[in-house]
Amino acid sequence: MENRTIYLVRHGKVQLEDDQRRFIGQLDVTLNTDGISQAKGLQKRLERADISTVYCSDLARSLQTAEITVAHKAISIIQRKDLREIYLGEWEGCTFADIARRFPKEFKERGTDIGYYRVPGGENFADCSRRVVAALHEVIQSTSGNILIVGHAGVNRLLLCYALGMPLGNLFRIGQDYGCLNILQINNAGFQVKLVNFPAAKR
């Protein structure tokens, strides 16, 4: 296999009702003004990148970021449901503080076993990893050239864990700020991670 580059970015900051930490998961929220600026920063950062194919999840925040990032390039954007963020079941939309108050035992158990604890009605990170890693391999096998994937914080951490051979329990050791850029290379020897959590350029 020829050397190929995968540009893996996180969507920009999203519009929420307040500044409290929430379990957003697969809620379909849009970018706020900061998020739009971050996506424009990604556009600037990647304006000279040789990108053949663009993929994103089918959630609005991922698609919006992809559209802004490659607005200057004549590239179609392919949406994939299997690139969505982890599904958090009954906790979707709830604040961390609310879940910690209402379900202290479950909240603590999830923190202790972050890779494998499954929220009622939702996925765990192991489920999500199987889904997004399978999507990554399908994308690689069905394309040529360099790829841009506009993902989510959890999705990106899982793909980086996979590329680095890291256990899922360590996924939150990898930073993924809004609008960040990660760069992976793949060839016959496997994956090499070249850049992690690099901030978008200022606009």
Instruction: Report yes or no on 161 lying in a domain.
Output: yes
Instruction: Report yes or no on 203 lying in a domain.
Output: no
Instruction: Report yes or no on 45 lying in a domain.
Output: yes
Instruction: Report yes or no on 83 lying in a domain.
Output: yes
For residue 203, pLDDT beyond 70? no
How many percent of the chain have pLDDT more than 90?
A: 93
For residue 18, pLDDT beyond 90? no
For residue 201, pLDDT beyond 80? no
Instruction: Report yes or no on 90 lying in a domain.
Output: yes
Instruction: Report yes or no on 13 lying in a domain.
Output: yes
Q: 56-89, pLDDT tens digit by residue?
A: 999 999 999 999 999 999 999 999 999 999 999 9
Instruction: Report yes or no on 179 lying in a domain.
Output: yes
Its domain, for residue 135, covers: 4-198
Q: What is the mean pLDDT of residues 153-169?
A: 97
More confident residue, 184 or 1: 184
What is the CATH classification number for the domain harbouring 59? 3.40.50.1240
DSSP string, the chain: ---EEEEEEE---B--SSSS-B--TT----B-HHHHHHHHHHHHHTTT----EEEEESSHHHHHHHHHHTTTS---EEEEGGGSPPP-GGGTT-BHHHHHHH-HHHHHHHHHTTTT---TTS--HHHHHHHHHHHHHHHHHT--S-EEEEE-HHHHHHHHHHHHT--GGGGGGS---TT-EEEEEEETTEEEEEEEEEPPPP-
Q: What is the mean pLDDT of residues 156-160?
A: 98
Instruction: Report yes or no on 62 lying in a domain.
Output: yes
Mean pLDDT for all residues in the chain: 96
Tally of domains in the chain: 1
Q: 110-150, pLDDT tens digit by residue?
A: 999 999 999 999 999 999 999 999 999 999 999 999 999 99
- The values of phi and psi at residue 90, to 5°, are -70, -15
What is the pLDDT, as a whole number, of residue 61?
Answer: 98
